[in-house]
Structure 1
Amino acid sequence: MYTKQEYTKQDFILMAQAALEQYDFPGSELDYLGKSGSVTFRVRTLAENPDILLKLHYSEGERKTRDSIESELIWLEALSRDTKLTLPTPVKNREQELVTVITYGTLGHLNATCCRWVDGDTLDREPSPEEVTQLAQLMSALHQHSKQWELPAGFVRPVYHRENLLSSLAQMQRQLPSGLLSTEQFNLLESAANSIAEVIEQQPLTRDNYGIIHSDLHESNYVFCDGEPRPIDFSGCGYGFYLFDVAETFLHLSPDNRRTFISAYTRHNELPPEYEHLLESYFIWAILRNFAFLSANPLEHEELSRTIPYVVERFCNKYLNGEPFLLN
């Protein structure tokens, strides 16, 4: 575990170089990409070798334990082996380990990982119907694999269930003194969350509707290359409802594209009769989770203060009044 000392970009470069010493990447050069949930680098190798995404898992939290990081990579290995998807395939170090442990300065230890770089571009626009169809097929492939894959012993990932929803609500409640949202707005978010919590509790946890999901497949976490969507950043993967996965992606799609997505997704996945209500429940849950994440950063508060009233009026009020909104 690391201390609260603030490290510089140069520190992170030195950490990355220390991690690379445990791999065989001849002629490699480091491109610093940034620091968010982890510190990332693009490792440029010799021309005949694919580039590498190097992550320093610098942040604290349950996702950053060695077992949790290793479990993420085990699923990526299985997806790479069992499907035709192009995704970040893990690379083992010289000791044939998925997670590399380094020390630096006052760090007790720091976990580092390497995956094959995924070529492609993020979309800076609404996807076309054809791209949405491809995206639905991508998600279908992830879910089909999850339904059939036998989880190995010791597999540890976050759980997206009722407690996750209520923890997001609690984070928003802590923002009331700051004025980020009004008491009336919070009360409506709370009413919607309590209704969604009941929906969650009523859903059976079967292999047909619940398993390992990406949980964050939005337009920054998939790229397109030659018309093919490719998923990236599986750091949020965990146990959850497949329709929650869909709802997260729906946050960034128009109603027309949501209907196109469902049409393509249901070619391979049967949906329950009440799927629209479930999707609307999980859609608001995904928004609340995103609000909670962003609210921890004061730089996001100005934008959130504009978005929260819109969401409360456009989605929460309609949800509580039983008015469909997701596919209209």
Structure 2
Amino acid sequence: MRSANRRIRQACLASRTDAASARPSKLSVILSSVSDPGYHTRQEIQSELDWMKALSESGIKVPIPLIGLNEVALQNVKLAPEFGERFVVAFEWINGEEPNGEHLLKNFERLGSITASLHAHAKSWAKPDSFQRMTWDHETMVGSNSHWGNWKEAPFLTPDGIHIIHEAMSSVRWSMEAYGKSETRYGLIHSDLRLANLLLEGEETKLIDFDDCGFSWYMHDLASAVSFVEDHEDLPVWIDRWLTGYRSVAELTPEDISIIPALVMQRRIQLLSWFSSHADTMLAHQLGEVWVKNTVSLAAEYLSGRYLQNL
């Protein structure tokens, strides 16, 4: 999941050719992606671009990187002193609109369908030997040294709340270990495939923001799809429509369904980890103390066995 500091995406007007664009000198609209220092290595970003290129060639609509005059898409750019040197990629503008709440059920179905297509590609694609992306397993999502921070350090957590969440994560860990990491269940995923990262143009669905793509459980993409709304009363309906869309493309086993509550709970605590390290962001302020308290309540409900029990 992006943060304002970790990844800056902005539309800009390019009126000349420079190292980041091999296009002739003319007015064009592009999208620039600026990395945050330390989050990804150069090879990890290049691997992200490699997958996006392969997806585009397979017919899945994603942004297309522009090749520089130096014949590479990934550039090193020196910014203002306070920002230092960053990796930058310029993409061709991709048309479409973010889904709104007007056709929510249909959009969740579309999200499930495109996610299944993405997984099918990931399972069949021969990755380059140099391919490197981060791993999103239980430890790197919610462990004490997770990629996004330590959830126990999140604001507004009480000792009782920490204990309840710890017990819930112990149960989730056991469930994930039992589910396993076979090739049919674990591989390369988008890892932040929410409605906010879709662009719709007519009946065409396009995917954006592969910044967090990496190796994890395929069904984690479902947990990501319901980020921040894990306690919404309509969550079971949204999940059902996502599953309907997914099954229109690929099969799911009973074990894939039964692991959903654990995955969604794990994602919620992964977001709490993000909250702990981004407490000064606008989104964290919007979520606030109520969201943290609701997270503890969800963990208690999960421990009771009632959370998403009717899937």
Q: What is the TM-score when the length of structure 1 is the normalising length?
A: 0.79
> Given residue 158 of structure 1, which amino acid in structure 2 is its aligned partner?
M
Residue 305 in structure 1 maps to residue 289 in structure 2? yes
Instruction: Answer whether contact 1:173 1:186 (CA < 8 A) is retained.
Output: yes
Instruction: Answer whether contact 1:259 1:327 (CA < 8 A) is retained.
Output: no
Instruction: Answer whether contact 2:67 2:73 (CA < 8 A) is retained.
Output: yes
Distance across 1 between alignment mates of 2:160 and 2:15: 51
Match of 1:192 in 2: 168
Distance across 1 between alignment mates of 2:16 and 2:271: 34
User: Helix, strand or coil for the counterpart of 1:220?
Assistant: helix
Distance across 1 between alignment mates of 2:54 and 2:106: 27
Segments of structure 1 that go 5 or more residues without pairing to the other structure are 1-5, 29-43, 46-50
Q: Residues 18, 280 of structure 1: CA spacing in aligned structure 2 closer, same or farther, 3 A cutoff?
A: farther
How far is 1:280 from its partner? Answer: 0.8
Q: Residues 278, 294 of structure 1: CA spacing in aligned structure 2 closer, same or farther, 3 A cutoff?
A: same
How far is 1:62 from its partner? Answer: 3.7
How big is each residue's C-alpha offset from its partner over 1:210-253, in whole Å with a ceiling of 9 and x where there is no partner?
A: 11101001122112111332111100100011101111113357
> Given residue 91 of structure 1, which amino acid in structure 2 is its aligned partner?
L
Match of 1:233 in 2: 209
How big is each residue's C-alpha offset from its partner over 1:117-167, in whole Å with a ceiling of 9 and x where there is no partner?
A: 221111332643332222211111100000101111121111011211214
Within the candidate set 152, 174, 183, 1:173 is matched to: 152
Match of 1:278 in 2: 259
Higher alpha-carbon deviation: 115-124 or 151-160: 115-124
How big is each residue's C-alpha offset from its partner over 1:23-45, in whole Å with a ceiling of 9 and x where there is no partner?
A: 223455xxxxxxxxxxxxxxx60
Residue 143 in structure 1 maps to residue 141 in structure 2? no
How big is each residue's C-alpha offset from its partner over 1:166-205, in whole Å with a ceiling of 9 and x where there is no partner?
A: 1459612123xx5x11111111111111111122223332
Within the candidate set 117, 128, 135, 2:104 is matched to: 128
Over 6 Å off, 4+ runs: 16-19
Between the two proteins, what is the percent identity of the paired residues?
Answer: 23
> Given residue 173 of structure 1, which amino acid in structure 2 is its aligned partner?
K
Within the candidate set 57, 71, 75, 1:96 is matched to: 71
User: Helix, strand or coil for the counterpart of 2:101?
Assistant: coil
Match of 1:316 in 2: 299
Q: What is the TM-score when the length of structure 2 is the normalising length?
A: 0.83
Instruction: Answer whether contact 2:19 2:70 (CA < 8 A) is retained.
Output: no
Segments of structure 2 that go 5 or more residues without pairing to the other structure are none
Within the candidate set 77, 81, 85, 2:60 is matched to: 85
Residue 293 in structure 1 maps to residue 291 in structure 2? no
Distance across 2 between alignment mates of 1:105 and 1:130: 44
Within the candidate set 305, 308, 311, 1:325 is matched to: 308
Match of 1:60 in 2: 37
Q: Residues 212, 22 of structure 1: CA spacing in aligned structure 2 closer, same or farther, 3 A cutoff?
A: same
Instruction: Answer whether contact 1:291 1:304 (CA < 8 A) is retained.
Output: no
Distance across 1 between alignment mates of 2:275 and 2:237: 27
Match of 1:3 in 2: none
The number of aligned residues is 291
Q: Residues 96, 326 of structure 1: CA spacing in aligned structure 2 closer, same or farther, 3 A cutoff?
A: farther
* Greater RCO (Cα-Cα under 8 Å, separation 6 or more): 2
Query: RMSD value over aligned CA atoms?
Result: 2.9
Distance across 1 between alignment mates of 2:117 and 2:185: 14
